[in-house]
Amino acid sequence: MVYNPFTADTTKMSSEEFEIYIKNLMDKLISNYNLDYYSIEHDKKIDTYDGTYQIDVFMRYEMMGIKYLTLIECKKYTHPVPREKVEILHNRIKSLGAHKGILFSTARFQSGALLYAETHNIALIQIVDGQLLYETRSLSSNSPSFTQCIKTNKYKSLIIKKKNDSTYCSVFEPENDKQLLFKIN
């Protein structure tokens, strides 16, 4: 089944459908840029000196004569994404010589995953469908805080970033090409 990248309900997708959805979303978003070249592949298998890797979404593009490689992993989870999933992506980035790694999830990220991603420059993006509450655990304390990040029936993408001792939530609204920034703690 093909999902509209700007209106799909990711809660009803299988893991493979979520991966294809992210591929189509990235294809739609990157096609808006004036790149010399780009290609996006789903479920790419790559042989390297240290083994064979399966990458959910494999993206190559060229800008100003410079070639870039981005590895994208997709997690259709109902539980928080642990640090080890970000570590695995980081190891794949190093082994494949990629320039960037992005981890998309339908669930939030554990504080250790946020810290590791920030340290290693990996983007963590949570796809949020309709009136879901985003739960975050403060990186400076053990008490959870709850923030209503979005109240809409259309999907949004949610980028979680730790800076100093604060956690920020950046929401991208594709229907009006806007990005909103919230400080969570």
Per-residue pLDDT in tens (0 to 9) along the chain, 185 residues: 555 544 556 667 899 999 998 898 888 888 888 888 999 999 999 999 899 999 999 999 998 889 999 999 999 998 999 999 999 999 999 999 999 999 999 888 998 999 999 899 898 888 876 322 233 333 344 433 333 343 333 445 555 556 666 666 665 555 555 555 555 54
- In the three-class reduction of DSSP (H, G, I as helix; E, B as strand; rest coil), residue 114 is classed as helix
Q: What is the CATH number of the domain that holds 81?
A: 3.40.1350.10
Q: Domain count of the chain?
A: 1
- Domain membership of residue 149 (yes or no) is no
Give me the half-sphere count of Cα atoms (radius 13 Å) on the Cβ side of residue 71.
23
Whose tokens are 């709850």? That residue is 146
- Domain membership of residue 157 (yes or no) is no
- Domain membership of residue 27 (yes or no) is yes
- Domain membership of residue 122 (yes or no) is yes
Closest of 58, 65, 63 to residue 98, by C-alpha = 58
- Domain membership of residue 174 (yes or no) is no
Instruction: Please give the model's pTM, rounded to 2 decimal places.
Output: 0.70
Residue 125: domain span = 10-130
Q: Answer whether 85's CB lies under 8 Å from 103's CB.
A: yes
- Domain membership of residue 120 (yes or no) is yes
Between the two ends of the chain, the Cα-to-Cα distance in Å is 39
